[in-house]
Amino acid sequence: MTALPYPTAIRNAAAAAIQAAVALQQQGQAPDDVDFTPLVGARLLLTSVLPTQEPAAGKPAPASQILIYTFRRESPTVAPAGTAPQFKTTLTLLFELRVATGNAATVDQRLDALADAVKDAVLRNGAFVQLARPSKLHVESKYDAQGQRVLGNAALALDLEYPETFPPIATQALEGVDLYVDALDVFDPSGTYQPPFPYVPPPAPRTSGPDGRPEAAASIDLPQ
């Protein structure tokens, strides 16, 4: 079975963490030091478009909304020159949060409570934090194209660090390994030998080995 792309796995894990927090709250099993109540009834969306937050005429206000997506990956290299490419990647996971604006006097309080509940649900979920190391968390208000704050909207961004390595693709199967021991201190100063490995011994007279004559050897056949 093919593994999910990492950003997809992160988004799914974040959604699962919020759903697990809702279940704990409804079952009365949430920790005493957190309040997951703002998550109960909220619409959880793994999509790029949020539905309207304004109620239709004669309709009740829509539930709070949480949109989850990833939008940036930065990968500075950490590999020494001449080795397989390796990076320390930072993935930004974004939660767009909305609360109904019908009661303007409490909208900021409800938005703050929703943000806190999302943070607790995700960062206290063991399955989620095993996937990556959180390195930065910030919450910002949202603004429209004219620079005006959008009431009832906020963005919670979580930076996650994880390693990425790209080893070369093997073009030929490894069938076995031949091992030879040709020591520095056990040598023949005047003999001439053709070693069974790609090495050219220094000419005689030699004051040190290797001399091209293995003192020990072994062959290992690998299962295919």
User: Percent of the chain having pLDDT more than 70?
Assistant: 88
- Please tell me whether the peptide bond between 55 and the residue prior to it is cis, using omega within 30 degrees of 0: no
pTM over 0.85: no
Report pLDDT digits (tens) over 41-59. Answer: 998 988 655 555 555 556 5
Which is it for the CA torsion 119, 124, 125, 128, positive or negative? positive
Report pLDDT digits (tens) over 153-186. Answer: 899 999 999 999 999 887 887 788 888 887 776 6
Taking the domains of the chain in order of start, what are their residue ranges? 6-165, 175-224
Identify the residue with better confidence: 58 or 16: 16
CATH tag, 6-165: 3.30.70
Task: Give the separation between CA 83 and CA 118, rounded to whole angstroms.
Answer: 40
